[in-house]
């Protein structure tokens, strides 16, 4: 009888764990859309983030109930972002995947990648627009040029802040961030 009770308690813990994990994976995916990230990509990342062992594509497909193509393309993108890496196990031909577990490193990698993909191209466009209109004399042209200059200065400041934050060690960045917030 005691053995049955332990088994039931273990089953309850296992069910509770799976429920909590599934809720995290679902919410990580839902939150991601507000950050401009594909829901499935975020769910794969969340699943790998909380997995204690690397997972192979079929496991991910089964857990998230997604197609092979969807899993493959999103895993490739996560590897390109640098927050998931491909690993191989000796004697096994399968490709396994694991997420960066260190939250600070993950934050820094995501910050650098978002800056490279989003901030840097936006800054290039702002600079080009300001350069093209710098010599124009019409009032509308001058106002446009001035607005582009102000936006460029602001985005350069944000870019510099992102560089400093993502390049800093955690023990130095946290006090800096707290100082900026107060």
Do 8 and 85 lie in a common domain?
yes
In 3-state terms the chain splits into helix, strand, coil percentages (rounded to 5) of 75, 5, 15
Task: Specify the number of domains making up the chain.
Answer: 2
The pLDDT of residue 2: 46
Burial class (CB in 10 A: 0-12, 13-18, 19+), 97: buried
The pLDDT of residue 6: 53
Do 113 and 95 lie in a common domain?
no
For residue 66, give its domain range: 2-99
Do 20 and 78 lie in a common domain?
yes
In order along its 182 residues, the chain shows pLDDT tens digits of 445 555 766 677 778 888 999 999 999 988 987 777 899 999 999 999 999 999 999 999 999 999 999 999 999 999 999 999 999 988 889 999 999 999 888 988 988 998 999 999 999 999 999 999 999 999 999 999 999 999 999 999 999 988 888 887 777 777 766 777 77
Do 59 and 128 lie in a common domain?
no
C-alpha dihedral, 62 to 65 to 67 to 73, nearest 10°: -90
109-146 core/surface letters (b: 16 or more CB in 10 A; e: else): bbbbebbeeebeeebeebbebbeebeeeeeeeeeebbe
**In whole angstroms, what is the distance from residue 178 CA to residue 172 CA?**
10
Do 10 and 86 lie in a common domain?
yes
154: which 2 tokens? 């602001």
Last residue of a domain, one of 99, 119, 152: 99
The pLDDT of residue 9: 65
Last residue of a domain, one of 61, 81, 99: 99
Do 28 and 85 lie in a common domain?
yes
Last residue of a domain, one of 77, 99, 121: 99
The pLDDT of residue 5: 56
What's the pTM value of the predicted model, to 2 decimals?
0.76
Do 82 and 142 lie in a common domain?
no
Do 24 and 87 lie in a common domain?
yes
51: which 2 tokens? 């997995």
């Amino acid at each position: 009888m005691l053995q049955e009770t332990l088994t039931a308690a273990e089953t309850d813990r296992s069910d509770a764990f799976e429920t909590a994990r599934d809720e995290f994976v679902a919410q990580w995916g839902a939150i991601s859309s507000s950050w401009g990230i594909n829901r499935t990509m975020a769910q794969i990342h969340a699943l790998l983030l909380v997995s204690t062992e690397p997972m192979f594509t079929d496991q991910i497909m089964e857990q998230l109930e997604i197609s092979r193509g969807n899993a493959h393309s999103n895993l490739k993108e996560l590897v390109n972002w640098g927050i998931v890496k491909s690993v191989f196990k000796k004697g096994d031909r399968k490709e396994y995947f694991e997420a960066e577990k260190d939250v600070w490193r993950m934050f820094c990698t995501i910050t650098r990648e978002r800056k490279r993909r989003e901030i840097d191209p936006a800054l290039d466009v702002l600079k080009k627009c300001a350069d093209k209109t710098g010599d124009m004399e019409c009032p509308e042209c001058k106002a446009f040029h001035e607005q582009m200059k102000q936006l460029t200065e602001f985005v350069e400041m944000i870019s510099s802040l992102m560089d400093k934050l993502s390049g800093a060690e955690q023990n130095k960045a946290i006090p800096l961030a707290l100082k900026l917030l107060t």
